[in-house]
């Protein structure tokens, strides 16, 4: 198959926009960041939603907005507080970029979130998608968006069979989404049914601002369709508001589009961690700047060859040079980050070289709870038996704990 959008694109755009706006007016989810037009709040939600599901983000966003309700508060927060608020969301470069961007807004825009698209795009960590989302949702500008959800929806509707990561196809998709949002900014007044008060509340628009808000609603309708109906597997075409316009549906290509080349194969990695307790305090260390999971806390650990069968293999030193004795299995954490399938075998242990080494900290349970841990190591903490407040699980009770970071937003 070799179909390109340009042939029927012009004809499809008006129909698509009308149907999408109409569908969104009755199907938009009531998400907390949709109840506001505060660009700061929308920016935080978009940063958190990159690679993360909506239901995961909601409590994080609500807590962040409670603790750091303004740009200035984000700019001035301590690194410890920022990482704690992001703990578990993964991709921690995002939160460090949020702070750098907040500091840039204070320094260059007197603390007011910039409205100019190029100024938004110049903020650290803000790419074309995020800038388009903020500009359209907060400022109602006709700026396009293109993320994984929108790529899936558009390649299917237009039957685009080339790889969306290729430059030419990617440019074509941006052109389509640009046409859609520009058309939306012009035609809203012709819609047969005006939006209900409920929709206006749910999508952060006002009655007066309704026409202007069509750019926001069109972009959000594309994201929403990808999240709720045009899902990666088993799209619900029978419920889709644009199914009569969809090339993939007519030709039965839903499972083949988007045509993304071979995904990288999963790589297995194995780590051993050591849980050492001394008089109610636990040995932990903080990861340095410039490495994966920088600034987060963890138990001493070391990576071992993926082929080793983990707990049975005797490993008595971690990557920082701590040496351990009395090493006994405690728990096994199974964890996925992007293409890595990680097995972390945690062991109870005693410290052999009892004199403190640089980089090690002995912290109580309450101090541990206030630190931001990487997801896998937080799961070790969660295995401590609360009533004894110490890691006393027997090996016979070991159960794998699984988690995944890097799911698409939906």
Joined tokens for residue 179: 């046409």
The CB-of-19 to ligand SF4 minimum distance in angstroms stands at 10
For ligand SF4, the closer CB: 84 or 152 = 152
The H-or-E segment that residue 65 falls in is: helix 54-67
Residues found near ligand SF4 in the complex (CB under 6 A): 153, 156-157, 229-230, 235, 237, 240, 242-243, 246, 248-249, 254
Residues 6+ apart with CB under 8 A from 191: 18, 21, 22
Q: How far is the CB of 107 from ligand SF4 (least distance, A)?
A: 44
Question: Which C-beta is closer to ligand SF4: that of 237 or that of 317?
Answer: 237
3-state SS assignment for residue 259: coil
Give the separation between CA 354 and CA 34, rounded to whole angstroms.
Answer: 54
DSSP assignment string, 166-196: SHHHHHHHHHHHHHHHHHHHHHGGG-SSPPP
Q: What is the dihedral of CA 391, 395, 396, 402, to 10 degrees?
A: 80
Q: In angstroms, rounded to a whole number, what is the distance separating the alpha carbons of residues 90 and 334?
A: 15
Please give the helix or strand (H or E) that residue 400 lies within, else none: strand 400-405
Smallest gap from Cβ 240 to ligand SF4, in A, equals: 3
**Is 140 or 152 the residue whose CB approaches ligand SF4 more closely?**
152
Active site residue 46: yes
Which residue, 186 or 236, has its beta carbon nearer to ligand SF4? 236
Q: Give least dist CB 233 to ligand SF4, A.
A: 11
C-alpha to C-alpha distance for 116 and 114, rounded to whole angstroms: 6
Least spacing, CB of residue 56 vs ligand SF4, in Å = 24
Strands 281-286 and 400-405: unpaired
Q: Given the complex with ligand SF4, which of 35 and 236 has the nearer CB atom?
A: 236
DSSP string, 218-258: HHHHHHHHHHHTS-SSS--GGG-TTGGG-HHHHHT-GGG-S
Catalytic residues: 46
């Amino acid at each position: 198959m070799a179909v390109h959008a340009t042939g029927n694109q012009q004809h499809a755009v008006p129909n698509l926009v009308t149907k999408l706006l109409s569908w969104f007016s009755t199907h938009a989810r009531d998400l907390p960041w949709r109840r506001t037009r505060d660009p700061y709040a929308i920016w935080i939600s978009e940063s958190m939603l990159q690679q993360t599901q909506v239901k995961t983000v909601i409590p994080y966003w609500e807590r962040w907005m409670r603790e750091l309700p303004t740009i200035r508060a984000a700019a001035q927060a301590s690194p410890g507080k920022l990482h704690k608020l992001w703990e578990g969301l993964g991709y921690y470069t995002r939160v460090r970029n949020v702070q750098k961007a907040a500091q840039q807004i204070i320094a260059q825009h007197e603390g007011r979130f910039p409205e100019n698209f190029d100024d938004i795009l110049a903020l650290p960590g803000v790419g074309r998608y995020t800038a388009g989302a903020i500009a359209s949702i907060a400022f109602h500008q006709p700026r396009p968006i293109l993320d994984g959800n929108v790529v899936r929806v558009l390649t299917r509707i237009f039957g685009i069979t080339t790889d969306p990561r290729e430059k030419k196809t990617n440019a074509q998709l941006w052109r389509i989404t640009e046409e859609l949002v520009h058309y939306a900014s012009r035609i809203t007044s012709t819609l047969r049914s005006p939006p209900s008060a409920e929709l206006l509340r749910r999508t952060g628009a006002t009655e007066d601002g309704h026409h202007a808000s069509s750019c926001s609603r069109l972009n959000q309708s594309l994201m929403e369709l990808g999240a709720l109906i045009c899902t990666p597997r088993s799209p619900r075409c029978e419920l889709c508001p644009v199914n009569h316009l969809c090339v993939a549906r007519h030709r039965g290509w839903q499972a083949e589009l988007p045509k993304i080349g071979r995904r990288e194969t999963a790589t297995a990695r194995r780590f051993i961690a050591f849980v050492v307790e001394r008089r109610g305090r636990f040995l932990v260390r903080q990861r340095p700047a410039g490495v994966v999971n920088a600034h987060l806390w963890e138990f001493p650990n070391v990576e071992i060859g993926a082929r080793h069968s983990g707990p049975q293999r005797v490993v008595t030193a971690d990557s920082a040079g701590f040496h351990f004795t009395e090493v006994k299995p405690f728990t096994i954490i199974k964890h996925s980050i992007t293409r890595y399938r990680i097995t972390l075998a945690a062991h109870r242990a005693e410290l052999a070289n009892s004199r403190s080494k640089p980089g090690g900290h002995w912290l109580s349970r309450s101090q541990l709870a206030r630190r931001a841990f990487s997801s896998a190591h937080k799961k070790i903490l969660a295995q401590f038996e609360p009533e004894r407040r110490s890691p006393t699980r027997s090996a016979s009770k070991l159960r794998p704990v699984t988690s995944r970071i890097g799911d698409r937003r939906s």
